Amino acid sequence: MSAPSLQTRERLSEVRYEIRGELARRARELEGQGRTLIKLNIGNPGAFGFRAPEHLQRAIADHIHQTDPYTHQQGLPVAREAIAAHHAARGTPHVSPERVFVGNGVSELIDISLRALLNPGDEVLVPSPDYPLWSAATILNDGRPVFYRCHEGNGFLPDPVEMEALVSARTRAIVLINPNNPTGATYPRELLERIVAIAAKHNLLLLCDEIYDSILYDDATFVPVAPIAGDVPCLSFGGLSKVHRACGWRVGWAVLSGDPKRSTEFRHALDLLGALRLCANVPGQFAIEAALTGADTITPLCRPGGRLHEARQAVIDACNASEHLKLVAPAGALYAFPGVTGDALKGFDDHGFALEMLESEDVLLVPGTSFNVPYRNHFRVTLLPQPEQVREVFARIDRVLERRAQANGKVVPLAKKARPAA
């Protein structure tokens, strides 16, 4: 008789992370068969030929002889001092190196912060669409994500009245992702002020994912939350992976601001959990000061003529030219979140569409429902490919959607119908 199979944690069944899930596994199978794929599922700059800036690389190389030992669990002092100074210059109140935590990417710090905060059954307000690590980490730390809608008709911005209506006696925190992943929305000051007021009224922690803070297009601006929050406890997340194109270095940070007396216990919890994992990757921490005080290398990529700007424009142009797509143009971050419309929409399923794009068109994208939305007509692509590759991808997308529209009985104008042979 065979032994029973090893059981896993039950709550894992509630967790979704399709960005690296079933479709990505199928993509690896197809690549193993010799297929060449265009993979737009992950915002991974190095996979598209971007490199971390040279002055960051030099900073690590110059200090490599100092990277063998563990460092303090909160991070290298010089790195934390640079982060604190950067946030102080923004107007963040009550910021000091002692309230800065360096982690193995923002992902680790998200998990640690929720583990430090939540008791079983506690609730966290999370945007819909969200970056699904936030809802997954809430679930895996025995909490419950409560989704507040960011409506497409409102530029994917949330309604503070709807947000406050979701607050209960168990609510502990509000998650803000600004600039947003997956939509590219950027939050105006007036909206942030209203959300801060909700946190102040209900004694909630603000969890502010600002990893894309300097990736902005056209006239978009980034407004940090911490200076608005004042004495309200706020944890602001940043790192090297996106703005500085160094994902593989796994360097992120979290800055705790607000009245120190209100967050002393929480700060000690973060320190304890950081100590239990010993410390974050040491070599990458030597690049933090160089990143925050050195040359701005991201803005030229986001301006007209810059690679990210032109890739974004290619998405906008393709969606405008298509009768099957609609788009709220991303104002920031590295993604677009198009929606399917018109004749192609009947019977549309985002996961089935993503699988068809993979199997028939060699394109890997992410279904919109992966970002915890109730509708099934969106998908996410990254803006990292070269603009000409973006145009090719959307030509393939339109080809598949046109087939769907035709199958749904789309009426083709006479001028487009094929002439019978003479």
The structural domains of the chain, ordered by start, are: 12-41+303-407 (3.90.1150.10), 54-293 (3.40.640.10)
Distance CA 324, CA 399 (A): 10
Output the pTM of the full model. 0.92
The torsion angle over the Cα atoms of residues 43, 152, 341 and 331, rounded to 10 degrees, is -40
Q: Please, what's the b/e burial string for 132-153 (b: 16 or more CB within 10 A of its CB; e: otherwise)? A: bbbbbbbbbbebbbbbbbbebe
Cβ proximity of 110 and 237 under 8 Å: yes
Q: Both tokens of residue 108?
A: 């680790």
Cβ proximity of 223 and 195 under 8 Å: no
Cβ proximity of 399 and 360 under 8 Å: no
Query: How far out from the chain centre does Cα 76 lie?
Result: 26
Give the orientation angle of helix 133-140 with respect to helix 105-117, to 10 degrees. 40
Query: What is the β-pairing status of strands 234-239 and 252-257?
Result: antiparallel
pLDDT at 363: 94
Distance CA 181, CA 330 (A): 10
Residue with tokens 């065979």: 2
Distance CA 202, CA 200 (A): 6
Q: Both tokens of residue 245?
A: 């194109």
pLDDT at 419: 44
320: number of Cβ within 10 Å: 11
pLDDT along the chain (422 residues), means of 10: 77 71 87 92 93 97 95 96 97 96 96 97 97 95 97 96 98 98 97 98 98 97 97 97 96 97 95 94 96 96 97 97 96 97 93 94 94 95 96 96 89 51 40
pLDDT at 237: 98
Distance CA 217, CA 142 (A): 38
pLDDT at 172: 98
* Secondary structure element (H or E) that encloses residue 333, with its range: none
